[in-house]
A and B are shown apart, each in its own frame.
Chain A
Amino acid sequence: MMMLTRDGIAYRVARDLPEGSYVNLGIGIPVLVANYLDPEKEIFLHSENGILGVGPTPAPGQVDLDFITAGKGYCTLVLGASLFDQTLSFTMMRGDHLSHAVMGAIEVAANGDFANWRVPGQSVPAVGGAMDLAVGVKNIFIAMSHVTNKGKPKIVNACSAPLTARRCVRRIFTDIAVIDVTETGLVLREVLPGLDAATIQSRTEAPLAVAPDCHEMDVPETFKGIQLRQ
């Protein structure tokens, strides 16, 4: 089946981040979003360890050891960036100051619950800032594959993996669809060209309502590929 690559999902998420937004990108597919932001939009990327305005990875020979991101990689800063400590950083995250957080997920439920911090069977638990973002930021975007490597739906009626937070996801971007979480349940907004709503539903455990203006995703061909696993 044709689907978006990881970069394709990131490209599609980037289109929904408005000019001047303040955004935290989680590890995995979410950090790839940074590569597809329009510089004209002047979007500020937040790093929980104390940066607003994360820039690109430094050029070879330009690494400064005092500048790292939450993912522990080295970084530069953009024009207008600021640096601060954990207290101010988590005030931004917990106090509804960031406009968007993009995170990966193991499961998302129809009511907006999601699980992303503890893989079942993981021997040493680690949570970081995921729970803080989930309750403190209004627009929680999830970027993930639609199903697991084994083909199991990740958009479910109720999460079985340990929850990150209840009822907080606003929009889900997958390799085949864009789905909104609403008061009345999940609403299918976009599908990958060539697929129909019935196909998306067949790969989704929770029921999907189809938006009246549901349409095909506008993503360049370079971001489409054939799923190899499964």
Chain B
Amino acid sequence: MINKTLATCLEAVSPVFDGATVMLGGFGNAGMPGQLIEALRTHGARDLTIISNGAGTGDFAMGALFGDGLVKKLIASFPAPTAKQFREHYLKGEIELELVPQGTLVDRIRAGGAGVGGFYTPTGVGTELAAGKETRVIDGREYLFELPLKADFVFIKALQGDRFGNLTYRGTMRNFNMVMATAGKYVAAEVDEIVPAGSLSPESVHTPGIFVTHLVAVPRHPRLLELPAEENP
């Protein structure tokens, strides 16, 4: 019987080795695998290359990961000014940054997951992000050649999952989680709830279990459940 569930996030991150490439899902706090990232911090593998949209904010989960000295490189599109830990260590020269336009980041991950060896896009042509990239004119328009991205480990967040690894999301949680799930050798999902096999409608499965190695049901990171200040009585 297939059962991809694990009891703890620490088990889920235990195979991560020094020097690994790790994708982290989420956009802002929505769909951020906060507990898996905290487990990754505890696990302590070093010299990681992180692929994510941003660099987190604040002093927990992704925001804190960059302050732990575990990351040597970030491939991202939007390390926001609020990503204080990343900013500090980037400016000291301790973390390398490969900045990628967001849509190109998405398509590079999609290419990695789909077995595509690269693609041409007009995004970035004529900008400093085109430096060193092969160009090609197609139908009179200039394009940049972009390479696929794959990861040794992918950590994502979903709403529900079943023992087969089928996942569903809610609201804006899908963001990078769905595409990253296709691009890893090992994919672990943090879910609010593991539901009995057969209770997810096949039509409503967003990430089919074929992409998922393991899943863990865990309450969301408490900081991800905080309402904005004006909502607190």
Question: Do A66 and B121 contact each other (CB < 8 Å), given the known contacts A86-B176, A124-B87?
Answer: no
Chain A residues lying within 8 Å of B128, measured Cβ to Cβ, are: 162-163
Within 8 Å of chain B (Cβ to Cβ): is A36? no
Q: Which of A83, A128, A134, A162 has the most CB of B within 10 A?
A: A128
Chain A residues lying within 8 Å of B172, measured Cβ to Cβ, are: 47, 49-51, 66-68, 83
CB-based nearest A residue for B107: A90
Other-chain residue from B28, B103, B231 in contact with A93 (beta carbon distance below 8 A): B103
Which of A7-15, A56-64, A97-105 lines the interface with chain B? A56-64
Range for the number of chain B residues in contact with chain A: 35 or more
Within 8 Å of chain B (Cβ to Cβ): is A170? no
CB-based nearest B residue for A69: B172
**Using a CB-CB cutoff of 8 Å, which residues 50-93 of chain A contact chain B?**
50-51, 60-61, 63-68, 70, 72, 74, 83-87, 89-90, 93
Question: Do A128 and B78 contact each other (CB < 8 Å), given the known contacts A66-B170, A94-B121, A135-B123?
Answer: yes
Determine how close the nearest CB of chain A comes to the CB of B26; give it in whole angstroms.
10
Other-chain residue from A49, A61, A132 in contact with B27 (beta carbon distance below 8 A): A49
Complex Cα distance A131/B106, Å?
13
CB of B227 within 8 A of CB of A63, answer yes
Chain B residues lying within 8 Å of A124, measured Cβ to Cβ, are: 79, 81, 83, 86-87, 90-91, 97
CB of B102 within 8 A of CB of A132, answer yes
CB-based nearest B residue for A128: B78
Chain A: interface residue total (CB-CB under 8 A): 44
Within 8 Å of chain A (Cβ to Cβ): is B177? yes
Determine how close the nearest CB of chain A comes to the CB of B171; give it in whole angstroms.
3
Complex Cα distance A84/B53, Å?
16
Question: Do A127 and B101 contact each other (CB < 8 Å), given the known contacts A61-B231, A66-B173?
Answer: yes
**Using a CB-CB cutoff of 8 Å, which residues 11-38 of chain B contact chain A?**
27-30
CB-based nearest A residue for B226: A65
Residue interface bits B81-103, CB-to-A below 8 A is 1, else 0 = 10100110011000001011111
Within 8 Å of chain A (Cβ to Cβ): is B110? yes
CB of A131 within 8 A of CB of B174, answer no
CB-based nearest A residue for B27: A49
Chain B residues lying within 8 Å of A64, measured Cβ to Cβ, are: 171
Determine how close the nearest CB of chain A comes to the CB of B38; give it in whole angstroms.
18
Other-chain residue from A63, A89, A131 in contact with B228 (beta carbon distance below 8 A): A63
Question: Do A131 and B178 contact each other (CB < 8 Å), given the known contacts A86-B106, A125-B97, A126-B79?
Answer: no
Apart from the given pairs A60-B231, A85-B178, 13 other A-B contacts in the complex at a CB distance below 8 Å:
A49-B172, A50-B27, A65-B29, A85-B176, A86-B178, A87-B178, A90-B106, A126-B77, A127-B102, A129-B77, A129-B102, A132-B101, A136-B123
Question: Can you list 15 A-B contacts (CB < 8 A)?
Answer: A49-B28, A74-B228, A83-B172, A85-B179, A86-B179, A87-B179, A89-B106, A90-B102, A90-B107, A125-B97, A126-B80, A128-B102, A130-B101, A162-B127, A165-B127
